Amino acid sequence: MKKFLLLIFTLCMAFVVNAQDVPYSKYLTFTKKEFKENKFKYDDETNTWSLRKSSGLKTALNVLAIIADASEEVRPAKDDYSILVQLGKEGKAAYVQVVFYNDETYHKLLTFIKDNGKDIVDTSSGKIVKYQAFCDDYALELNMEQRIISRTSARTGDSKTLKNVDESYNKYTFIIGTDVEPWSEYLEEQAAKKAKRDAKGKKKQSVDEMM
């Protein structure tokens, strides 16, 4: 009887762990109807569904500030984000990519990876910090990239002196990958162009391709 109860308890615990959904993974199983209901837009050429939120007011103020030669806010708003779902040939999701700028969201995702991820690898290069892990059947990747904005400050009063100003912000990217191969007309065109370049013996376009 004790063994039976122990087995039931173990199965229940396993269910609880599996029930811990990977954040944003729900978009991997969205139907066409669900995408439309959630205001996603489909791009036929890239075979993607995407949703973007940006501060329209801030964009308008930036334009007015430039015209008036005043200071402008050039960094993205904290709550700006974009979600892109790349589909494969059969219409199943290959991956979902979330780009955002909220520090708290980043720490929540990092905590999730450290608590639930397997084979975690963290690397850093320059201004980029990357975490990679596996969770359930997904390959997870979380990146933090520091962006630097160099701009010229506006004139103040009668001063004709312009001052260079460096501003920085963090751009975060979270990717959930599946075993589905990404497919689109755009990707096929790029692959065909690369094959044509290789056939002609032209130099590779990046150092990565030279490996």
59 is a domain residue: no
Domain holding 152, by residue range, is: 39-53+82-200
- From 5-14, 52-61, 135-144, 202-211, the region with the lowest mean pLDDT: 5-14
pLDDT at residue 70 greater than cutoff 60: no
Summary mean pLDDT of the chain:
82
The answer to whether the CB of 169 falls within 8 A of the CB of 147 is: yes
Cα separation, 125 vs 145, in Å, equals 10
pLDDT computed for residue 67 by the predictor: 43
165 is a domain residue: yes
> Which residue, 78, 67, 89, is CA-closest to 172?
78
89 is a domain residue: yes
99 is a domain residue: yes
Dihedral sign (CA 132, 182, 83, 31): negative
pLDDT computed for residue 18 by the predictor: 44
> Which residue, 137, 147, 211, is CA-closest to 180?
137
pLDDT at residue 174 greater than cutoff 60: yes
72-89: average pLDDT = 87
pLDDT at residue 87 greater than cutoff 60: yes
pLDDT at residue 71 greater than cutoff 50: no
CB atoms within 10 A of CB 134: 15
- From 58-67, 175-184, 189-198, the region with the lowest mean pLDDT: 58-67
49 is a domain residue: yes
Between 65 and 99, residue with greater pLDDT: 99
- From 3-17, 104-118, 125-139, 157-171, the region with the lowest mean pLDDT: 3-17
14 is a domain residue: no
pLDDT computed for residue 72 by the predictor: 47
pLDDT computed for residue 13 by the predictor: 47
% residues pLDDT > 90 (the chain): 56
Q: How many domains does the chain have?
A: 1
Place 56 in a pLDDT band, splitting at 50, 70 and 90: low
**Single pTM value for the model:** 0.75
187 is a domain residue: yes
Place 158 in a pLDDT band, splitting at 50, 70 and 90: low
Between 76 and 133, residue with greater pLDDT: 133
In sequence order, the 6+-apart residues with CB closer than 8 A to the CB of 210 are 204
105 is a domain residue: yes
Place 7 in a pLDDT band, splitting at 50, 70 and 90: very low
Q: What is the pLDDT of residues 132-157, one digit of tens each?
A: 999 999 999 999 999 887 666 555 55
